[in-house]
Amino acid sequence: MPIELLMPALSPTMTEGTLARWLKKEGDAVKSGDVLCEIETDKATMEFEAVDEGVLGKILIADGTAGVAVNTPIGVLLEEGEDASAIVAKPVAAAAPVPAPAAVAVPVAAAPAASAHGGDRVFASPLAKRIAGNAGLDLKAVKGSGPYGRVVKADVELALKGGVAAAPVASAAAAAPAPKAAAAPAAATANPFEPAFEAIPNSSMRKVIARRLTEAKSTIPHFYLSIDCELDALLKVRADLNGRSDAYKLSVNDFIIRAVALALKKVPAANASWGEEAIKRYTDVDVSVAVATPNGLITPIVHHADHKGLATISGEMKELAAKARDGKLKPEEFQGGGFTISNLGMFGVKDFAAIINPPQGCILAVGAGEQRPVVKAGALAIATVMTCTLSVDHRVVDGAVGAEFLAAFKKLVEDPLSMLL
C-alpha cells in the first residue's frame, strides 16, 4: 500500500512550512535515512529524512511551495512490488499551494559595480538563492523587500517576470531600473493622512517572534534589576589571553556567557521556568544567546556552559551565530535553554530592559562598557563600567534571588581570573 509522506512538524511552533526543494525525483529509490527534501520553517532550513524504504512514486507538492500546513501529504512512497497504478487506486489529496504574499513596491535595481574585494555581499533567503541560481539570475540586480533589504522569494519571482533572469552583471548594470510600483490604493484610502510607506510582508519567523513576545509581555509579570560591573580587570585578562594564541579570539560576550553560567551554578533558583503545576528548576546550565539575523532574533544555545572554558564557548558561539544568520541551525541548537543573554553593547547601547524569552524565567540585558567616574577608597577615579539589567518573571524568581544572581555575576566579571579556575 502506498505510504503518504506528510509535511513534518520540525519545531514546536511550526504550523506550516515552505517545501524549498526536492532532493529525490519521482522514480528514485529511497532508503531509510535518505534526505528527501529541504523544508523552510519559521526558524531555519532543515532536511526531511525518509523513515521507510521504497520508491518515490509521486511528488504532490512542488519545489518552492509556501504555506504547506503540517501533516499535509507532500509525496507518495511506493513499497516493493508496487507501481504508479497503486497511486491511482488510492488517490492522495494534495493541499493547494498557498501563494507567497504579493510584493509591494519592489523595483529591480541595477547591479552595483564590483568592488576590489569581489563585490558587496548580498543578503538573501536560502530559497531565493536557489531559485535565482537555477534561473541564472544575479541577486545583485534585485532589490530586496525583506527585513534590512534581504532578498526573498517574491523579489526573485518579480525580477524573473521583469526579464532580469540570466542577464550578466554588466548588462544588468546598464539596464534602467524598473519603475517603482504605485502605492496600494486601499492603504491610501484607509487613512489619507498616513505618510507614504512600503509594505513589507511578514515572514513566518517574524510572525512567531511577534506572537511570542506579545504573549510574554502580556502574561509574564516582569520586574527589573540593574547592576554596574567594572570591566578593567576583565579587559586586561582578555587582552593577555588573546595575545597568547592565534587559535582563538575571545570577546567580552564570551566572558559574559561564562560568568552567567557560573552564577547560575551558584544560584540555581534563577535557572528556572514557570509551570502551572510546578516550577521547573533546570539541572543543566544551557545558556541561550540572542543573535540578530535578517529575519529577526533567534537564540542559539551554549549547552552545559558551566562545564566549558572560554575558548570552547568562543568557538561554539562563532559557529552558532554563523549558522543562525544562514538559517542552518538544527532544532536542538535553538530550542530549549534555561536563561537568555541579550547583548547590545557592541552597538553602543548604555542600558536597556529585554523581554523575557518564554518559558524561561530570566533574561540578562547587557549594555556597553564605557568610562565613567567612580569612587574608590574615598577618591574619584575613572573605570570602564558596564550596566546589566535582569528581567525577571516574578512567578518564578523572587527579588532576593534575582539580586543574589546579579551579585554572583558581578563578582565573577570583576574578578575574571576566578572564571579560569
Give me the active site residues, please. Answer: 394
Strands 379-393, 362-376: pairing is antiparallel
Q: Rounded to whole angstroms, how far apart are CA atoms 167 and 178?
A: 15
Q: Which of 155, 158, 133, 138 is nearest to 146 (CA)?
A: 155
Q: Confirm if 50 and 32 have CB atoms less than 8 A apart.
A: yes
Cβ-contact 69, 95 below 8 angstroms: yes
Q: Where are the alpha helices (DSSP H) in 25-152?
A: 85-89, 126-135
Please give the C-alpha separations between residue 21 and each of 47, 66, 105, 304, in angstroms, as whole numbers: 10, 11, 27, 35
Cell numbers standing for residue 375? 569612587
User: Residue 81: is it exposed, middle or buried by C-beta count within 10 angstroms (0-12/13-18/19+)?
Assistant: exposed
Set of cell numbers at residue 419: 572564571
Residue among 78, 105, 72, 108 nearest 90 (CA)? 78
Interstrand relation of 339-343 and 287-289 (parallel, antiparallel or unpaired) = parallel
* Partners of 37 in beta bridges: 22, 48
Q: What angle do CA 350, 355, 358 make, to 5 degrees?
A: 145
